[in-house]
Structure 1
């Protein structure tokens, strides 16, 4: 029987599946070798630096998150369905959600920089057009919801036996209505002053 050629892609994919099912702390050379069905030697040839492998796994997780969100977003209700998609991710893929939330974000020293790195630049325009508000107001609203969704998603995936999805979605909707009301009041006050 010919020997299987182990590739870097196989190592990363096996490590990703381990992280997805059991958490990043289980991404160990012996577990990867067992998952692939080989000795640890080929794994070591790709994993001289576990930090590099974990960065590759995190990159793969971020790709998964983008694909998951795209599959769960309703284009006719983009803003609300995006928030629900991230909560759904926290429910269905808690280890991936943790990787998404807890990965190191280099070059971020303000919430504005976080917003720039974490969002599609077209989103604030879409929100502004839909709600008839300025892009700056839309960006603030979106940032509020981004922070809220990350927080509630983290609570959701870290509790046992678990909070119901309906309760989380209801809370998310309440937060959205509060943030939206504040945004619209700010808009109205700005128009009255101008």
Structure 2
């Protein structure tokens, strides 16, 4: 008969997410998780087979949290602008999760479309919002997305690494300047 579960899957994942927020993915070890739960590592393995499964659950939590930011932004009137602001807000509020999702080494194809799709599963929805909001062809929407994503990713990275946090009005102004310049150039 298998041992009785001392902790639920949700309790273990919640503790793993707490560690992720403090120490990043590499901080989620059996020892650290057991300490966070106030137990030995053994009860973890009555629910999960490996620590990789626990880490994968924490990654899935981070993706879902980020997707919530984007989904909410896509409902706004200026969806593309709101998505950029949500991306930066996620980096500011969840720096370790941002680093995990958007600053980890990846073996990706050379095509920027492939990169965006691999990094952010919301990329097609974002491209669609650009096409619909601004009447751009797919090619022009992609170009605008690429330009603004690179710019926004730079700001978000500054937040996530603690290098610099701009005032919200500064960010909005810079984003507007780059957006207007890019739109002018693309048209």
- Bin for the TM-score computed over the shorter chain: 0.7 to 0.9
CA contact (8 A) 1:15 1:57 kept: yes
Which of 142, 150, 153 does residue 150 from structure 1 map onto? 153
State which structure, 1 or 2, has the greater radius of gyration over its C-alpha atoms: 1
Is 1:77 the counterpart of 2:68 in the alignment? no
**CA RMSD in angstroms, aligned pairs only:** 2.6
Determine the C-alpha separation between the residues in 1 that align with 2:165 and 2:132: 37
1:161-180 matched pairs, under 5 angstroms: 162-180=165-183
TM-score, normalization by structure 1: 0.78
1:78-157 matched pairs, under 5 angstroms: 78-103=79-104, 105=106, 108-117=109-118, 118=120, 119-157=122-160
CA contact (8 A) 2:5 2:46 kept: no
Query: Closer, same or farther in 2 for the Cα pair 1:53/1:75, shift >3 Å?
Result: same
Q: Which of 45-54 and 129-138 deviates more?
A: 45-54
CA contact (8 A) 1:145 1:176 kept: yes
Report the count of equivalent residues.
182
Determine the C-alpha separation between the residues in 2 that align with 1:106 and 1:68: 26
Determine the C-alpha separation between the residues in 2 that align with 1:40 and 1:158: 31
